[in-house]
Amino acid sequence: MRVIAIDTANKPLSVAISEDDTLLGTVTLNMARTHSQTLMPVVAELLDHTQTKVEDLDRVAVTSGPGSYTGVRIGVTTAKTLAWTMGIPLVTTTSLQLLAGNIPTTDTRLIVSLIDARHMNVYAGGYQWIPEEPEQGPRNVILPRHLALADLLPDVAALRQPTIFVGNIPLEDQALIRAQLGDQASFAGDLASLPQTARLALWAPEMTPIKNIHDFVPTYYRLTQAEQEWGKHHHDEGHAPYVQEV
């Protein structure tokens, strides 16, 4: 099975192509450039270098968020269009699980993925590798959500497990984590904060395809700014969401 995997949920952009359990090629860019301008050239280049024709693809994998609203939409829309046009399955996971996949499968600690959501908030999820089931990535053990970091830490502490945090975590947040969790907490290296779709591509053959591609929408975990503004002025009116997700 030949798979293309795409992640544009945050500042880094990552694309990978695999065949069965072999990674054929991957490109990861960590530059302040617009994903709408760089994604398709990267896809075209990777297809060329791996000698893959579009019609050779058997499956598309993509992260559904959370992260930058624009970034998430670019990746999801591209993946949906490619899967629908080619008539091939689409599979998905969160950008938080993809980050957790940077921790080796032999590491038994609780993995907490953090993505900056601004305004002192984070997107967060907890994961753990199951030794008998590494093929689909680490299992979710703390539901992904959007919240203040200080509100997350009691949930982590309650599990009473050694924990490794992964993501681009500012020093002040690291200090807060250490103050709350002490020696229970450690932090992955800087390279682990870069999402690697090479892992998603290798997980994809074992993942369950989305039943209806048209119904698949990004996973934001919080309202868009436009929806928040609407809610301030339209209370309990029974309206349908006026922001259409694509």
Spell out the domain ranges in the chain.
Answer: 2-95+195-233, 103-193
- The pLDDT value recorded for residue 223 is 61
CA-based torsion, 36, 208, 87, 49: positive or negative? positive
With residue 90 as reference, give the H or E element that holds it.
Answer: strand 90-93
Query: What's residue 238's pLDDT?
Result: 52
Percentage of the chain surpassing pLDDT 70? Answer: 90
- At 103-156, the pLDDT tens digits run 999 999 999 999 999 888 999 999 999 988 889 899 999 999 999 999 999 999
The yes or no reply on domain 2-95+195-233 and CATH 3.30.420.40 is: yes
Q: Which amino acid is at 89?
A: P
Is 45's pLDDT higher than 70? yes
pTM across the whole model: 0.90
Q: What pLDDT does residue 139 have?
A: 96
Radius of gyration over every alpha carbon of the chain, rounded to an integer in angstroms: 18
Q: Rounded to whole angstroms, how far apart are CA atoms 34 and 65? A: 17
The yes-or-no answer to whether 2-95+195-233 and 103-193 have a common fold is yes
Of residues 209 and 241, the one with the higher pLDDT is: 209
Instruction: Give the pLDDT confidence of 175-210 residue by residue, as tens digits.
Output: 999 999 999 999 999 999 999 999 999 999 999 999
How far is it, in rounded angstroms, from Cα 187 to Cα 19?
32
pLDDT (tens digit per residue) in 12-43: 999 999 999 999 999 999 987 789 999 999 99
What's the rounded Cα separation, in Å, for the pair 222 and 122?
11
For the segment(s) 103-193, the CATH number from 3.40.50.670, 3.40.50.80, 3.30.420.200, 2.60.15.10 is 3.30.420.200
- Tokens found for residue 136: 């689909």
